[in-house]
Amino acid sequence: MNNQKIGNLESLNKQVYDEIHWWQFPLAEFSIKLNKNFKDIFFNKIISKRSKSLEFASYMNNRSKKYHKDWNFKRQRALIWDYKINAEFVPAWFVYESVMYLKMDLLEIEENIIAYLTFRGRTIVHPKLPVEVKPEFSSLIAHMICDGTVREDRFFYFQKDKDGLKRFIELIQNVFGNYSTNPQRGHTVPLIFKEVISSYFKASKFGSLDCNLTNKIFELPRLHKVAILAGALLDDGHSVSCIRFYTASLDFAQSLKRLSESIGYKCTPIIKRKPDAENWHNLYTFNISAESIPKFYQDLTELFELYPKLHIGKKYDNIRKFVEIKNRAWEQRAKGETIKIILDTLKENGRSAQELSEITNTSLWTVYHHLQKLIKRGKLTKFKKYKDTFVYRLV
């Protein structure tokens, strides 16, 4: 990488980005664990105020109604004592309202938060605060819509591919902080993360048929948009021979196409496809046009260099291969020469279509075309070697 490119990447990495602080979380949904020394100082201030007048106690009783707690003087006294002496985690709303009354610095509280406990799911998070709204954060909205199941009481991410699931867990922990996980074929995400992401993007529709991208998303910087497209491509896209997105929601297809075009990619019209199985929904698909794939590849490369946890693995490799073949500098082969290279290669051993594409320096789509012709002529056969990989060999 040359020095100018390094400088450009460093400049991009220093872009101003939004921050989401603990007091912007849904305060009634979690409790905070404070550094012990700071917690003692904090509660000593509260108890000192309560001992001098009823003003603080009255204030807290009134504010408790906002969070559906309905405190009274007797209950408040017992709870505050318990929070100080026994409780490891203190309700976030109580900490916030106390700070407001005592005119303390909210950032000072943030610096002394060492963990928080979500009320629904009882998950302990060792947080990264404030949450930084970088492309990694923005990409999560795509995963919520595509392979996520998002309801009022649930945020579950389903991914059959183990590497894809591992990627998602590492990504969301890199954004919000570490917490215990037990992934199988999917991953249950703390609901408070859903609330934070939804609130920031003003998003409320995540269903298969009624999802879309909100106006806030179209106001994001370029790399955030690229990150969202990368997430959608990983979950609900295709990059072998073309870059195609597919979804059961026409609204989402339209907004995803609009997002692509907003950063300069040309796209094909949206096509409505009938489902393969009965009692299933129509699919809406569109492609990033072939002439825009090199630009998309360039943007993805830049994104992954800055944010490696966003890498989309094989789907990126397919795009790279497409661009390399498009840019290759050699004269067109004589008719039948590519087929001869394929047959000569298969004399040694069976090969996958991907391997043959690499060996012949030909697009995967062209290799598939040749392989199908050779199978019809009785020259080749194929067998499944791995879960999703076919290997071709001579008859």
Which sign, positive or negative, has the C-alpha torsion 302, 308, 310, 311?
positive
CB of 256 within 8 A of CB of 225?
no
State the pLDDT at residue 11: 45
Q: Which two tokens stand for residue 182?
A: 């037990």
Q: What is the DSSP letter of 190?
A: P
In this prediction, residue 12 has a pLDDT band, given cuts at 50, 70 and 90, of very low
- Exposed, middle or buried: residue 221 (CB in 10 Å: 0-12, 13-18, 19+)? middle
> What are the φ/ψ torsions at residue 365 (nearest 5 degrees)?
-60, -40
Q: Are both 33 and 79 inside the same structural domain? A: yes
Amino acid code (one letter) for 276: D
> What are the φ/ψ torsions at residue 209 (nearest 5 degrees)?
-105, -15
Q: Does residue 322 form part of some domain?
A: no
- Residue that has been written with the tokens 């389903």 in this structure: 158
Nearest alpha-carbon partner for 204 in 195, 7, 136, 16: 195
Q: Does residue 313 form part of some domain?
A: no
State the pLDDT at residue 183: 63
Q: Are both 96 and 167 inside the same structural domain? A: no
Q: Are both 173 and 112 inside the same structural domain? A: no
**Secondary element (H or E) of residue 196:** helix 191-201
Amino acid code (one letter) for 80: I
Q: CA–CA separation, 46 vs 41, rounded Å?
A: 9
Q: Does residue 327 form part of some domain?
A: no
Domain membership of residue 381 as a residue range? 337-394
Name the least confident of 209-213, 250-254, 351-355. 351-355
Residue at a domain's end among 181, 214, 242: 242
Q: Does residue 89 form part of some domain?
A: yes
Q: Strand 113-118's sheet: what is its strand order? A: 90-91, 30-34, 113-118, 124-127, 177-179
Asked whether the bond before 130 is cis by omega within 30 degrees of 0, the reply is yes
Q: Say which residues have a Cβ less than 8 Å from residue 190's Cβ, sequence separation at least 6.
A: 118, 121, 123, 125, 155, 176, 179
Q: What is the DSSP letter of 41?
A: H
Q: What CATH number does the domain containing 204 carry?
A: 3.10.28.10
The pLDDT tens digits of the residues spanning 116-135 come to 998 776 788 999 999 999 99
Nearest alpha-carbon partner for 179 in 248, 128, 110, 105: 128
Q: Does residue 191 form part of some domain?
A: yes
Domain count, the chain: 3
Rounded (10°) CA dihedral 333, 338, 339, 341: 120
Q: Which two tokens stand for residue 128?
A: 């990264």
Mean pLDDT of the chain: 88
Q: How far does CA 228 lie from the centroid of its chain?
A: 8
Q: Are both 141 and 206 inside the same structural domain? A: yes
Q: Are both 96 and 30 inside the same structural domain? A: yes
Q: Say which residues have a Cβ less than 8 Å from residue 165's Cβ, sequence separation at least 6.
A: 157, 159, 183, 185, 186, 187
The pLDDT tens digits of the residues spanning 306-344 come to 999 999 999 999 999 888 877 775 556 777 888 888 888
Residue at a domain's end among 99, 127, 155: 127
CB of 231 within 8 A of CB of 241?
no
State the pLDDT at residue 356: 83
DSSP string spanning 272-295? EE--SSTT---EEEEEE-GGGHHH
Q: Does residue 104 form part of some domain?
A: yes
- Three-class DSSP category at 83: helix
Q: CA–CA separation, 18 vs 11, rounded Å?
A: 17
Residue at a domain's end among 127, 160, 190: 127
Q: Are both 123 and 175 inside the same structural domain? A: no
Q: CA–CA separation, 284 vs 272, rounded Å?
A: 5
State the pLDDT at residue 59: 94
Q: Does residue 144 form part of some domain?
A: yes
Q: Are both 196 and 148 inside the same structural domain? A: yes
State the pLDDT at residue 211: 87
Q: Are both 38 and 118 inside the same structural domain? A: yes
Summarize the confidence of residues 276-286 as an average pLDDT. Answer: 78
Q: Does residue 307 form part of some domain?
A: no
Q: What is the DSSP letter of 312?
A: -
In percent, the amount of the chain with pLDDT more than 90 equals 57
Q: What CATH number does the domain containing 346 carry?
A: 1.10.10.10
State the pLDDT at residue 330: 56
Q: Are both 204 and 147 inside the same structural domain? A: yes
- Is the per-residue pLDDT at 6 higher than 60? no
Q: Would the pTM of this model clear 0.85, i.e. be above it?
A: no
Rounded (10°) CA dihedral 164, 5, 134, 123: 40
Q: CA–CA separation, 22 vs 29, rounded Å?
A: 11
